[in-house]
């Protein structure tokens, strides 16, 4: 909906034979198809730099890969909107097969408060200020607003859909998520989308 190139994930039930630790059971999983074509290789930025630390800054990455500036910036905007707390250097990169291209956005599992307990979710719903405690980002800054302020050129984005259109995606999974979690996730999306809309309104 945002117009970014991302990997499609779907819910799928698999039958587990169990193990020493748990009984045979059906498990609901989030799955995706392999986005690599034959003879393509994914090189994450973590693999590219081999060892990385605070010296791999946003500016360095853009200077090293100017052809990926648009897509890197889209990734950071996306992560801001969904509060992805786990975009480390092995969760984005490029695909190589003679030529190189930026990989689609993948591995967004730690987004939308997915790591929080129901008690934490209820606390957020009771006190909106609690959201700041769970605003964490990687790899260039510890907070999402600080991270997207690093962007030197706002990328193309589709903001023609309403906030309600985005929130309706979450509501489709209400039976899996529960009312409290849906409320917290939708509130987060509303806040982040409004912030992004303001950014683009000023351009």
Contact criterion met (CB below 8 Å) for 137 and 147: yes
42 domain-assigned: yes
Domain-embedded: residue 5: no
Determine the structural domain holding residue 194 and report its residue range.
Answer: 35-201
CA 1 to chain CA centroid, Å, is 14
For residue 117, being part of any structural domain is answered with: yes
- In this prediction, residue 55 carries a pLDDT of 81
Does a structural domain hold residue 3? no
**Contact assessment for residue 181 and residue 189, using Cβ atoms and an 8 Å cutoff:** no
12: pLDDT strictly greater than 80: yes
- Non-local (6+) Cβ contacts of 44 within 8 A are 89, 90, 91, 92, 93
Q: What is the share, in percent, of the chain residues with pLDDT greater than 70?
A: 98
% of the chain at pLDDT higher than 90: 85
Is the separation of the CB atoms in 41 and 95 below 8 Å? yes
Query: Does 53 have pLDDT greater than 80?
Result: no
Using the predicted structure, report yes or no on whether residue 134 has a pLDDT greater than 70: yes
| Mean pLDDT across 60-70 | 97
| pLDDT score, position 171 | 96
Counting the structural domains of the chain, the total is 1
Name the residue among 87, 94, 92, 80 with its Cα closest to residue 189. Answer: 80
Q: From CA 43, how far away is CA 95, in angstroms rounded?
A: 6
CATH number at residue 101: 1.10.1070.20
Domain-located, residue 143? yes
What is the arithmetic mean of pLDDT over 151-174? Answer: 96
In a domain? residue 20: no
Residue 21: what pLDDT? 87
195: in domain? yes
**N- to C-terminal Cα separation, the chain:** 21
Mean pLDDT of the chain: 94
**Beta-ladder partners of 29:** 12
What is residue 51's predicted lDDT score, i.e. its pLDDT?
66
Asked whether residue 200 carries a pLDDT value surpassing 70, the answer given is: yes
What's the mean pLDDT in 152-171?
96
Among 57, 61, 84, CA closest to 141? 57
Q: pTM to 2 decimals?
A: 0.92
CA distance 58 to 71: 13
């Amino acid at each position: 909906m945002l117009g970014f190139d991302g990997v499609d994930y779907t819910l799928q039930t698999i039958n587990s034979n169990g193990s020493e630790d748990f009984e045979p059971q059906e498990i609901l999983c989030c799955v995706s198809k392999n986005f690599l074509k034959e003879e393509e290789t994914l090189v994450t930025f973590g693999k590219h730099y081999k060892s990385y630390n605070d010296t791999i800054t946003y500016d360095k990455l853009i200077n090293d890969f100017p052809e990926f500036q648009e897509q890197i910036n889209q990734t950071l905007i996306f992560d801001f909107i969904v509060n992805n707390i786990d975009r480390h250097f092995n969760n984005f990169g490029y695909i190589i097969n003679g030529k190189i291209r930026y990989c689609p956005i993948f591995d967004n599992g730690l987004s939308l408060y997915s790591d929080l307990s129901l008690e934490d979710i209820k606390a957020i719903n009771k006190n909106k200020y609690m959201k700041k405690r769970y605003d964490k980002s990687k790899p260039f800054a510890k907070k999402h607003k600080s991270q997207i302020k690093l962007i030197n050129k706002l990328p193309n984005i589709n903001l023609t859909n309403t906030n309600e259109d985005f929130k309706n995606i979450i509501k489709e999974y209400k039976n899996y998520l529960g009312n409290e979690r849906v409320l917290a996730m939708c509130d987060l999306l509303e806040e982040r989308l409004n912030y992004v809309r303001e950014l683009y309104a000023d351009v």
